[in-house]
Amino acid sequence: MRIATWNVNSVGARLPRLLGWLETTRPDVLCLQELKCATDAFPAAEVAELGYRTAAHGLGRWNGVAVLSRVGIEDVTRDLTGQPAYESETKARAIGATCGGVRVWSVYVPNGREPAHAHYDYKLNWLGALNDTVGAELTGDRPFAVLGDFNIAPADEDVWDISLFAESTHVTDPERKALAVLRDTGLTDVVPRPLKYDHPYTYWDYRQLAFPKNRGMRIDLVYGDARFAAAVTDAYVDREERKGKGGSDHAPVVVDLDI
C-alpha cells in the first residue's frame, strides 16, 4: 500500500498537477491539506475518473483537508475531539478516514504566526486536541497514522538555518514539546533523516529562490503507530513535484507499506 500526504496550497490552482501526480505516483491513499475551497467545491468528479473516492472538509478560501482513496473509504470523521475555535469559528483542519484497513488522519496544524500572537496559543490548544484524538484512535485494532502539514520542524536540522528562526514559530520549545507529547502516545516518525539526500525538506518559500537554494523546512510529517511503522518499506519526499511553475510550496511525502 502506498500512502502520501501533500499540502497542495489550493486544490483549484493545483488541480492539473494533482491529477498528473495521481496518475504517475498512484498512491492508494492521499491526505491533502490547504484545499482553499468549500467541501462541495472539491473536484471529486475529476479525481473519481482516476479511481479515487473523496472525503473532503473545507469551509471556503482558507484551510481545508481531504482524504482520497482507491482502496475504499469508511468511518469519516471531520474535526478533532474538542477542537478549539479561532475567532469564533472551528476551522476545517482535520479529517479522519479508514482506507483499506488503515486508519488515517489528514491534519493541517495552525501556523501560529508569531509566539506573541493569539494564533500561537490557538496552535498549542489545537495540538492538545490532536493529542486527545490520537489517544482515542490508538485504542483501535488497525494500523493508524496521522499525516499532514504540522507547521513544526521537529529538530534544528529540519530547517535550513536555525539561527534565522530564533524569534519564529515552528521551532519554539512549546511547539516541539507538544509534538513530543504526541509521539509519546505511541507514534513514530516513519520518514527518517537522512533519506536519499542530506536535508529532506518538505516546504520551501516561493520567495528569494528558496527552492533552488534548498532553503527549506521539514514540516510535513507522517507519524504512525507500531503496526503502521513496522509495515513501512520505503519513504521519500517527492522533490520533483515541487519543481517548475505552478507547483505548491510543499512537496508530497510518500510512504510505502507492506500491508
Distance CA 236, CA 243 (A): 16
86 tagged catalytic = no
Answer whether residue 32 shows pLDDT above 70: yes
Which pLDDT score, from 0 to 100, does residue 61 have? 83
DSSP-derived 3-state class of residue 78: strand
227 is written with which cell numbers?
A: 503496526
Q: How confident is the model at residue 58 (pLDDT cuts 50, 70, 90)?
A: very high
In whole angstroms, give the CA distance from residue 105 to residue 107.
6
**Segment 115-124 mean pLDDT:** 97
Residue list, annotated binding site for Mg(2+): 7, 34, 149, 151, 249-250
φ and ψ of 215, to 5 deg: -95, 80
Catalytic, 149? Answer: yes
The torsion defined by the Cα of 199, 216, 149 and 236, in degrees rounded to 10, comes to -30
Higher pLDDT, 99 or 61: 99
pLDDT score of 140 = 86
| Domain ranges within the chain, ordered by starting residue | 2-257
Grid coordinates of 28:
492508494
Q: Mean pLDDT, to the nearest integer, of 110-126?
A: 97
For the whole model, what pTM was predicted? 0.96
Sign of the C-alpha dihedral computed for residues 58, 4, 124 and 166 taken in this order: negative
Cα torsion through 71, 8, 6, 137, rounded to 10: -70
pLDDT of 60: 85
2-257 in CATH: which number?
3.60.10.10
Mind listing the pLDDT tens digit for each residue in 198-216? Answer: 668 999 999 999 999 999 9
Residue 193 banded pLDDT, cuts 50, 70, 90: low
Whether residue 58 contacts residue 35, with contact meaning beta carbons closer than 8 Å, is answered with yes
For residue 211, give the C-alpha cell. 527552492
pLDDT band at 131 (very low <50, low <70, confident <90, very high): very high
Question: pLDDT at position 194, please?
Answer: 55
Indicate if the pLDDT at residue 123 is higher than 60: yes
Grid look-up 475531539 returns 81
Annotated catalytic residue within 28, 57, 108, 225: 108
Task: Name the β-bridge partners of 55.
Answer: 67
Maximum separation of any 2 CA atoms in the chain, in Å: 47
Q: Write out pLDDT tens, residues 75-92.
A: 999 999 999 999 999 999
Residues in the annotated binding site? 7, 34, 149, 151, 249-250
Mean pLDDT computed over 142-156:
97
Active-site pick, 52, 170, 225, 250 = 250
**Peptide bond just before 194 cis, omega within 30 deg:** yes
Three cell numbers, residue 98: 479508514
Q: Is 60 exceeded by the pLDDT of residue 149? A: yes
Contact in structure between 172 and 115 (CB atoms under 8 Å): yes
Give the mean model confidence (pLDDT) for residues 33-51: 98
**Given the residues 149, 158, 220, 225, the one annotated as active site:** 149
pLDDT at 167: 81
C-beta separation of 150 from 179 below 8 A: yes
Q: Give the per-residue pLDDT at 197.
A: 56
Q: How confident is the model at residue 195 (pLDDT cuts 50, 70, 90)?
A: low
| Angstrom distance (rounded) from CA 229 to CA 213 | 32
User: Is 256 exposed, middle or buried, given 0-12, 13-18 or 19+ CB atoms closer than 10 A?
Assistant: middle
> Which of left, alpha, beta for 113 (phi over 0: left; psi -120 to 50: alpha)?
left
Contact 110, 151 (CB under 8 A): yes
Mean pLDDT (whole number) for 242-259:
95
Is residue 108 part of the annotated active site? The answer reads: yes
